[in-house]
Amino acid sequence: MGKEVNGVSRSRFEMFTNSDEAVINKKLPKELLLRIFSFLDVVTLCRCAQVSRSWNVLALDGSNWQRIDLFDFQRDIEGRVVENISKRCGGFLRKLSLRGCLGVGDSALRTFSQNCRNIELLSLNGCTKITDSTCNSLSKFCPKLKHLDLASCTSITNLSLKALSEGCPLLEQLNISWCDQITKDGIQALVRSCPGLKGLFLKGCTQLEDEALKHIGSHCPDLVTLNLQTCSQITDEGLITICRGCHRLQSLCVSGCANITDAILHALGQNCPRLRILEVARCSQLTDVGFTTLARNCHELEKMDLEECVQITDGTLIQLSIHCPRLQVLSLSHCELITDDGIRHLGSGPCAHDCLEVIELDNCPLITDASLEHLKSCHSLDRIELYDCQQITRAGIKRLRTHLPNIKVHAYFAPVTPPPSVGGSRQRFCRCCVLL
């Protein structure tokens, strides 16, 4: 085999003969053409491969296929396509997304693992055919794997996590959301052998209890992102262990974990000063007391989802307005004790003028047009949600728009019931939202 140039052998360049009359092939060195092809996406590369025999060689060279995302290209692929890709790319491939490719199973991914041993990022999100066998293959052949997405792969069990712990010690991010067979045993095996974990997405892993969280808190000091949405069995005990062991935590989602109390907010405030994102929707036991501690200690907060935190009042908004100057997104939907006074403080706080982009106030019955007046100075405000805020009027929204003409306002106004004397069939109104 001839000497390689940028991963392409000399013998391949011999395809460019004098019979190829294309000007571009005559004027540009083949190495430069290969470099140009390296910037093209999957679809364009496939089109170029059909232009001529010489372009086919360059377009399908493995060095051009280091990052592949088939989600926007073709999702109904069969396993043989993945096998062909793996043979084409070999050791060049670093990132592959097969998200939503329902036809891909264990056999194809075993071939893939054998051929693409330098893979670092792999998304199998929604590939429902795969089982623990795929993780065994990845463990055996892909030691450089750092990011793995197995969300909605419901056949995955603790055996997969044990396999990954044995063969993929560099793992930094793992998504096993909705893999509801996972228990504390799998989590324990994983975190003990993968100390560099920075992101864990465990949404919908309903069998997880506090014991699993204690293992995470003890072995994952670099953890930055943790999603435990709808893990309904967890309590303060497990989450406090997370806070005390993971001081670098920046994003925490515990929405739907109804057992947690203000103790979690105190623990976050005392241990996780870098927190940027907190999602605690439907955590109805949280109060102003906990959010006061949080706001006074976590000044980098950017996004907060407090939907259905039904006990909070304007006191929480006052603390956020004073201590959280970077706040960009705030959901207060179904927080029925919030009033115009809380919005007034928020609108005059340091986050209002330059940072606040989204505020959600659905089903806040005490909010009136006065709140919209208080938000006029929020020049970065892009969207406001006002469904079922019965004291908000069209006129109030119109006045807000004179100051923020590009803002998206979502609201619903019930149609006026026609008087009984009106004849004819009654008009039927759609119950969906109106984009004002």
Give the Cα separation of 279 and 227 in Å (integer): 9
Closest CA to 68 of 27, 17, 119: 119
Closest CA to 252 of 215, 176, 216, 201: 201
Q: For CA atoms 158, 162, 168, 174, give the dihedral sign.
A: positive
Give the Cα separation of 231 and 228 in Å (integer): 6
- Per-residue model confidence as pLDDT tens digits over 291-350: 999 999 999 999 999 999 999 999 999 999 999 999 999 999 999 999 999 999 999 999
Displacement of CA 165 from its chain's centroid (Å): 24
Give the Cα separation of 216 and 182 in Å (integer): 14
The predicted model gives 139-149 an average pLDDT of 98
β pairing state of 329-331 and 121-123: unpaired
Helices (H), 1-52: 10-13, 23-27, 30-37, 42-48
Find residue 359's DSSP bridge partners: 330, 384
Task: Inform me whether the pLDDT recorded for 7 exceeds 50.
Answer: no
Of 37-51, 178-192, 353-367, 402-416, the least confident: 37-51
Q: For CA atoms 186, 188, 193, 194, give the dihedral sign.
A: positive
pLDDT at residue 419, as a whole number: 55
pLDDT at residue 421, as a whole number: 52
Q: Are 337 and 312 in contact (CB under 8 A)?
A: yes
Q: Are 222 and 193 in contact (CB under 8 A)?
A: no
Provide CB contacts within 8 A for 348, sequence distance 6+.
321, 374, 377
Q: What 3-state DSSP class applies to 322?
A: helix
Provide CB contacts within 8 A for 43, sequence distance 6+.
73
Q: For CA atoms 136, 138, 143, 148, give the dihedral sign.
A: negative
Provide CB contacts within 8 A for 44, sequence distance 6+.
none
Task: Inform me whether the pLDDT recorded for 142 exceeds 50.
Answer: yes
Provide CB contacts within 8 A for 103, sequence distance 6+.
76, 77, 78, 79, 129
- Per-residue model confidence as pLDDT tens digits over 77-87: 888 989 988 98
pLDDT at residue 56, as a whole number: 78
pLDDT at residue 73, as a whole number: 58
pLDDT at residue 72, as a whole number: 58
Percent of the chain, pLDDT > 90? 72
- Tokens representing 90 are 């070999």
Closest CA to 335 of 389, 289, 276, 372: 389
* Mean per-residue pLDDT over the chain, rounded: 88
Classify each residue of 83-120 as buried b or exposed e, where b means 16 or more C-beta atoms within 10 Å of its C-beta: bebbebbbebbbebbbbbbebbbbbbbbbbbebbeebb
Confidence bin at 416 (pLDDT 50/70/90): low
β pairing state of 303-305 and 329-331: parallel
pLDDT at residue 44, as a whole number: 80
Phi and psi at residue 266, to the nearest 5°: -65, -45
Task: Inform me whether the pLDDT recorded for 75 exceeds 90.
Answer: no
Displacement of CA 163 from its chain's centroid (Å): 25
Give the Cα separation of 362 and 305 in Å (integer): 13
- Per-residue model confidence as pLDDT tens digits over 263-297: 999 999 999 999 999 999 999 999 999 999 999 99
Of 66-75, 252-261, 287-296, 382-391, the least confident: 66-75
- Per-residue model confidence as pLDDT tens digits over 362-373: 999 999 999 999
Q: Are 154 and 126 in contact (CB under 8 A)?
A: no
The predicted model gives 103-124 an average pLDDT of 96
pLDDT at residue 29, as a whole number: 78
CA distances from 345 to 42, 341, 377, 399 (A): 50, 6, 12, 20
